[in-house]
Structure 1
C-alpha cells in the first residue's frame, strides 16, 4: 500500500506502527538520503547543480540549506527532483523486487499525490492532522514557521490527498487515538490479504 500525508501530519508515526505489526516498510525519505550519501553520484550531481552552499563542512549534503533553496523556488525544486527522483525510483524498484509476495508492504512516500503514483498501489492510506497542529510539531523539530509554511505550500493539499485515498487516518488526537486507528487499519489490511490469497488459490484450482 502507499502511505502519504503532508509534512507534520505524523505519517512516520503511522508507518512505524504498521511496521511494528509486521508490515515491510519502504521509506522514501530514507532512500532519498541514501541516493545522495557521501561518495554517491547523486550527491555529486546535486552539488554540481546547487554549488558549495549546500555542502556541509564534512562534504555531505547540508539538507537544511538545500531545503531553504528549493522550497522557496519552484524552479530549483524541479531541478533537484530531476536529479534525485530517477535515482529514488530505481532504488525503490530494487526494494520492491525483493518483497515477500504474500506479505503486507507499505511504501511510505510523501509525494505520492504529487508524482501521480496513486494508481500503482492496491491501497492508498492518507494521514491528516490540523494545520496548526502540524506547524506546532514542526516547530518542535526546530523548523521555523516560515520554512514550514513554504514546505506545506509545495505539497499537495488535503483535498488532493483525500481524492486518491482509500483510507484516511486522522492524527489530530493523542497517541492512544492513533494506536486505535492503526489497529483498525491493520485488521482491514489483513482481511484484504486473506481475501487476495483465497482468490489466488481459487484461480489456481478452478472447479472442474
Structure 2
C-alpha cells in the first residue's frame, strides 16, 4: 500500500514540533526521526548490541542502557568512530521510519526529520514542508528553551544547511514568526492540500 509522505523539517528552534503536533491534532500520524533514533538504540535492540560489541561495555550505564554522554565524547574526538556509528544507525533509522510509515492509518503521514536535506532523507518523501523563522528568533527561542548560551545555538545553526538552501528545496513553507492562530490556519490549509494530493497518489499507485 503506497503512502503519501510529507517530509517536515526546519532549523533548530523553528517550531517543527509545534507544527507537527498541529497536524497530529487533525488526525495525521507522525513518524519522528528523533524518537526513532532513540528506539533503535533502546535496551534490548540490535542497534545497542552492535554498539556494545564495537565499543565495549563501558559504553553502557549500570542499567544496561546506552551512555549517550560517553558515546558523544568518543565520536566527537574521533571522526572514524562517528562514521562507523552513522553507517550503523542511519540505515536502521531509515528502515524503522519506513516501517512505521507503512503501518500508519492516516490519509498521509508526516515524517519529522530535523536533518531532512542534510542526510538525503528528502528522497523518501513525496513533498517537503519547511518551518521557517528568522535566525534571531531561532537563537532567542532555543537559548531560552534549552537554557544554553546564544553562541552555542549559533554554532548549531551554522552546522545545519543554510536557511536559503533549505527554503530553495522546500515544496511548501510555514512561516512561524507570528501567533499560534496564524500557524493553525497555515496548517489547516496545507492539511486540505495534502489530503487532496494523498487521495490522487493513492488512486494512482494502489489500483
Structure 2 length-normalised TM: 0.79
- CA positional deviation for 1:35: 0.7
**Equivalent position to 1:33, from 28, 35, 38:** 38
Cα deviation 1:87-141 (Å, max 9, x = unaligned): 10121122122234x7111111112101223243221101111112112222222
Q: Which residue of 2 aligns with 1:168?
A: 173
1:109 aligns to 2:116 (yes or no): no
Greater RCO (Cα-Cα under 8 Å, separation 6 or more): 2
Q: Which runs of 5+ in 1 are unaligned?
A: none
| Cα pair distance change 1:73/1:157, threshold 3 Å | farther
1:60 aligns to 2:65 (yes or no): yes
Task: Give the length in aligned residue pairs.
Answer: 201
Structure 1 length-normalised TM: 0.79
**Equivalent position to 1:10, from 7, 15, 22:** 15
| Cα pair distance change 1:194/1:133, threshold 3 Å | same
Q: Which residue of 2 aligns with 1:98?
A: 103
Decide whether the 8 Å contact of 1:10 with 1:171 is kept in 2.
yes
- Identify the range of structure 1 (188-197 vs 106-115) with the bigger mean alpha-carbon deviation: 188-197
1:136 aligns to 2:137 (yes or no): no
1:190 aligns to 2:195 (yes or no): yes
Q: Which runs of 5+ in 2 are unaligned?
A: 1-5
- Identify the range of structure 1 (120-129 vs 43-52) with the bigger mean alpha-carbon deviation: 43-52
Cα distance in 2 for partners of 1:73, 1:150 equals 19
Q: Which residue of 2 aligns with 1:82?
A: 87
Decide whether the 8 Å contact of 1:38 with 1:59 is kept in 2.
yes
